[in-house]
Amino acid sequence: MAQLGDLVRAKALLRSAARAFGPKEAVARARCVVGEAEIALASRDLGWPARALDAARATLEAHGDRVNAAHARYLEVRRLLLIGRLDEAERVLAVLDPTPFPPASRTAHELVVAGIAIRRLRTKAARAALARAEEAARHAGIPALTREVESACLVLNTPAARLIASGEERPLLLEEVEALLASDAFVVDACRHVVRDGRKAVSLVTRPVLFAIARTLGEAWPGDASRDTLVARAFGSTFTDESHRVRLRVEIGRLRRAIRPLAEVSATKRGFALAPRRARQAVVLARPVEEPHAAVLAFLADGESWSSSALALALGTSQRTVQRAIDSLAASGQVQSFGHGRARRWMTPSVPGFTTTLLLPAPLPIG
């Protein structure tokens, strides 16, 4: 049923089978739990009880079923990846040695290794893991597994961000983003709302007005940005009066203090200009697609069906906030739903040139 796409029926059958096994058939019941967890992951039911999976894994390990116990571990890691808990995912993965496992399990192992490396912006490690995954999938001979590896490989060959520098824009692959963040350039990172150079980083996640000003100045570099432009970008105002100018001066002062170790903000005749202290260049790193609900679209672009509760968990926000975003996207025809009530799921066709890597909640390395 799961292979045919009827995940609801597949889950019901597994639960029925688990109830049918007696107390002496603990391994069979544990395998049903692992199967249900896999279906939950495929249907993006991220709120599925992790404790049940952990108990099933312990049962399988105690009875010598190492392959299915390892599979349970991989399901756990993949869930942790989706909700951005990379440190936990790495700790779980560290206890697994894929060498003695069959090709399908080795493929799963390399896919999660690649997933962590991608989110850590370690593209060489990610490519090496995906190469190993391709080889293991070829030996496994499972078409669905091969397609999953191919889909993962596309992430590294799809624009992950846009570089805005000196008035020009161009798309960047993930390895180019990695190189940029490792360089000495002054980067206004609009994917993570961080301002950084090669030595230090300052997060402006909780200060959207300051970040809007920093981004406007970064886009204008090496020139200046006018006061009217800064007011419009920072405060959303279509006109400028004296109160806006006073507020702008206050916010500029706050920005100066926040980014003092990295750059200076100086006044000009028509506005303000950015001057990096150590870097020779200032650039803006922006998402490949920018719209009000880009983060929600990024997750839906993986082609899977998501519940609003799973999206809220993955994005680290409230379910009501996610629901408002989904309603707006649905009204514009960008997403569609199926099912009703708690079984309702949302999905969208893949968005060309749109990768989720920089939009996941785990922070990029900024040290």
The candidate with the shortest Cα–Cα distance to 276, out of 198, 190, 180, 355, is 198
Q: Is the pLDDT of residue 202 over 80?
A: yes
Q: Is the pLDDT of residue 147 over 80?
A: yes
Question: What is the domain range of residue 256?
Answer: 161-286
Q: Is the pLDDT of residue 341 over 90?
A: no
Joined together, the tokens standing for residue 132 give 């190993």
Joined together, the tokens standing for residue 14 give 């597994």
pLDDT of residue 7: 64
On whether residue 2 sits in a domain, the answer given is no
Round to whole Å and give the CA distance between 56 and 230.
56
The candidate with the shortest Cα–Cα distance to 333, out of 304, 297, 288, is 297
CATH number at residue 87: 1.25.40
**Sequence-separated contacts (24+) of 290-295 with Cβ below 8 Å:** 290/190, 292/325, 292/328, 293/325, 293/328, 293/329, 294/359, 295/359
Distance between start and end Cα atoms, the chain: 47
Joined together, the tokens standing for residue 89 give 């995912």
Answer whether 203's CB lies under 8 Å from 211's CB. no
Residues in contact with 32: Cβ distance below 8 Å, sequence separation at least 6, in sequence order: 14, 15, 17, 18, 21
On whether residue 81 sits in a domain, the answer given is yes
On whether residue 137 sits in a domain, the answer given is yes
pLDDT of residue 299: 77
Number of independent structural domains in the chain = 3
| Domain identity same for 338 and 240 | no
Where does residue 364 fall: left (phi above 0), alpha (psi -120 to 50 degrees), or beta otherwise? beta
**What is the average pLDDT across 168-195?**
92
pLDDT of residue 34: 87
Q: Give the pTM.
A: 0.75
| Domain identity same for 179 and 199 | yes
pLDDT of residue 356: 35
Among 257, 286, 315, the domain-final residue is: 286
Q: Is the pLDDT of residue 4 over 60?
A: no
| Domain identity same for 227 and 252 | yes
CA torsion, ordered 248, 249, 250, 252, to nearest 10 deg: 80
Q: What's the chain's Rg over C-alpha atoms? A: 24
Round to whole Å and give the CA distance between 273 and 224.
4
pLDDT tens-place string over residues 52-97 = 889 999 999 999 988 888 888 888 888 888 888 889 999 988 888 8
pLDDT of residue 289: 75
pLDDT of residue 354: 36
pLDDT of residue 342: 67
| Domain identity same for 268 and 304 | no
b/e per residue, 142-180, with b = 16+ CB within 10 A? eeebbebbeebbebbebbbbbbbbeeeeeebbbbbbbeb
| Domain identity same for 317 and 246 | no
